[in-house]
């Protein structure tokens, strides 16, 4: 069976659910700051009838009936054994433009670039590449993400300050497999 990339935000969130190991390279164009490194991303799907959907919709002035659910994203250092820091978490709610789900708005309780509630525009290309554009108070961000297969995806992003592009980032993201799932996969392989 050939790999099918997600073509709606709902499918993208479902395919993203789980824990991901991220290797990122960040290039600042106006300083020598290096934010490259490794981290984990924890993604949980938020159902349409969740209180989180109502909360974020109320915060952003949207009718929760327009939402198709969403996802919570939590980032943490790979060596960190405790719960992720709440400052590195966000809830994204999908408000599609129509029934196709190919385009729409992502409403967030906290943006990536500036830690404020924000509304982004998204669309899926024919090739399954997701593009998200976000206008913050002082910055503009564009992120593109796509799955290579079910367990590996890529993200590239740029952040533009008022004086031009400030940084670009590349992330390779590999799904973390639990020991139990790994054992089940091995047992199936040995059948």
What is residue 137's predicted lDDT score, i.e. its pLDDT? Answer: 81
Pairing verdict, β 130-135 and 139-149: antiparallel
The residue length of the chain stands at 191
- The yes-or-no verdict on residue 84 having pLDDT over 80 is no
Q: What secondary structure letter does DSSP report for 85?
A: P
Per-residue pLDDT, 144: 98
Task: Please list the alpha-helical segments (H only) found in the chain.
Answer: 9-16, 51-60, 179-190
pTM over 0.85: yes
pLDDT tens for residues 27-83?
A: 888 777 777 889 999 999 999 999 999 999 999 999 999 999 999 999 887 756 677
Burial class (CB in 10 A: 0-12, 13-18, 19+), 182: exposed
Structure tokens at 169: 């980032």
User: For residue 102, what is the DSSP state?
Assistant: S
- pLDDT tens for residues 109-118? 876 656 678 9
| Domains, in order of start, for the chain | 9-190 (2.40.128.20)
Residue 175: its pLDDT value, please?
94
Q: Which of 96, 102, 94 is nearest to 129 (CA)?
A: 102
Do residues 100 and 81 lie in contact, with contact meaning Cβ atoms separated by under 8 Å? no
Q: Three-state SS for 88?
A: helix
pLDDT in tens, 134-150: 988 888 899 999 999 99
């Amino acid at each position: 069976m050939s790999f099918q990339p997600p073509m709606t935000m709902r499918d993208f969130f479902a395919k993203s659910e789980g824990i991901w190991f991220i290797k990122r390279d960040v290039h600042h164009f106006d300083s020598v700051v290096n934010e490259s490194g490794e981290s984990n991303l924890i993604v949980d799907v938020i159902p349409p009838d969740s209180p989180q959907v109502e909360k974020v919709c109320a915060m952003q002035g949207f009718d929760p009936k327009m939402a198709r659910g969403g996802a919570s994203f939590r980032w943490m250092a790979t060596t960190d054994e405790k719960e992720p820091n709440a400052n590195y978490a966000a809830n994204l709610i999908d408000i599609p433009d129509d029934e196709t789900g190919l385009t729409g708005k992502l409403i967030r309780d906290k943006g990536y670039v500036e830690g404020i509630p924000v509304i982004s525009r998204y669309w899926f290309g024919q090739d399954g590449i997701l593009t998200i554009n976000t206008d913050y108070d002082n910055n503009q961000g564009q992120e593109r993400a796509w799955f290579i297969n079910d367990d590996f995806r890529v993200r590239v992003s740029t952040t533009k300050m008022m004086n031009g592009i400030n940084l670009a980032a590349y992330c390779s993201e590999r799904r973390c497999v639990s020991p139990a799932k790994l054992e089940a996969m091995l047992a199936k392989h040995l059948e």
